[in-house]
Amino acid sequence: MKPRTAIFSLLVIIIFWELLARIVNLAILPSPWEVSQAFVREMGKDLPLHFLASFWRVLSSTVLAIVLAAPLGMMLGQSKKLDRIFAPFIYWLYPIPKVVLLPIVVLFLGIGDVSKIFMIFLILFFQILVLVRDQASAIRPELIQSVRSLGAGRKALFRFVYLPASIPGVLTALRQSVGTAVAVLYVAELFATQKGLGYYIYLKGSNLFDYPAMYAGVVAMSILGFGLYAAVDWLEKRLSPWRYA
Partner 1 sequence: MIRVNDLYFAYTQNQPIFQTFDWQVEKGDAWTILGPSGCGKSTLLYLIAGLLPSQRNQLLVNGQPVLRPRPKSGLIIQDYGLLPWATVRDNIALGLKIRRLYGPDGTHAPMESDVDMWAVETWLERLGLGEQANKYPGQISGGQRQRCAIARTLVLNPDLLLMDEPFASLDAPTRENLQNLMIDLWQQQHLTMLTITHSIEEAVFLGKKILLLHEPPNKQAEIFENPTYSFENARANSEYLKICQLIRKKMML
Judged by the rule CB under 8 A, the positions of this chain that interact with partner 1 are 140, 142-143, 145-153, 155-156, 159-161, 164-165, 167, 240, 242, 245
Q: What whole-number distance in Å separates Cα of residue 205 and Cα of residue 219?
A: 14
CA dist 44 → 38, 41, 49, 222 (Å): 10, 5, 10, 19
Q: Which is nearer to partner 1, 6 or 138 (CB)?
A: 138
Least distance to partner 1, CB of residue 175, Å: 18
Amino acid letter at 96? I
Nearer to partner 1, 135 or 177 (CB): 135
As measured in angstroms, the least distance from the Cβ of 229 to partner 1 is 23
Of the candidates 218, 161, 238, the residue with the CA atom closest to the CA atom of residue 38: 218
- Nearest-5° Cα angle at 123, 71 to 10: 110
- Nearest residue (CB) to partner 1, 7 versus 163: 163
Q: Which residues contact 34 (CB under 8 A, 6 or more apart)?
A: 212, 215
Which amino acid, 32? P
Q: Nearer to partner 1 by C-beta: 159 or 237?
A: 159
CB of 77 to partner 1, least distance (A): 16
φ, ψ for residue 240, nearest 5 deg: -130, 65
| Shortest distance, position 101 Cβ to partner 1, whole Å | 36
Instruction: Quote the Cα angle for 185-189-193, to 5°.
Output: 150
Nearer to partner 1, 64 or 152 (CB): 152
Round to whole Å and give the CA distance between 127 and 103: 21
Task: Report which DSSP code applies to 139.
Answer: S
Nearest distance, CB of residue 171 and partner 1, angstroms: 12
Which lies closer to partner 1 via its Cβ, residue 161 or residue 216?
Answer: 161
To partner 1, the closest distance from the beta carbon of 243 in angstroms equals 8
Q: Smallest distance, Å, CB 2 to partner 1? A: 24
Length of the chain (residues): 245
Mark residue 25 as left, alpha or beta (left: phi above 0; alpha: psi -120 to 50; beta: remaining).
left
Using the minimum distance from each CB to partner 1, give the nearer residue, 108 or 160: 160
Cα(first)–Cα(last) distance of the chain, in Å? Answer: 16
CA 132 to mean position of chain CA atoms: 16
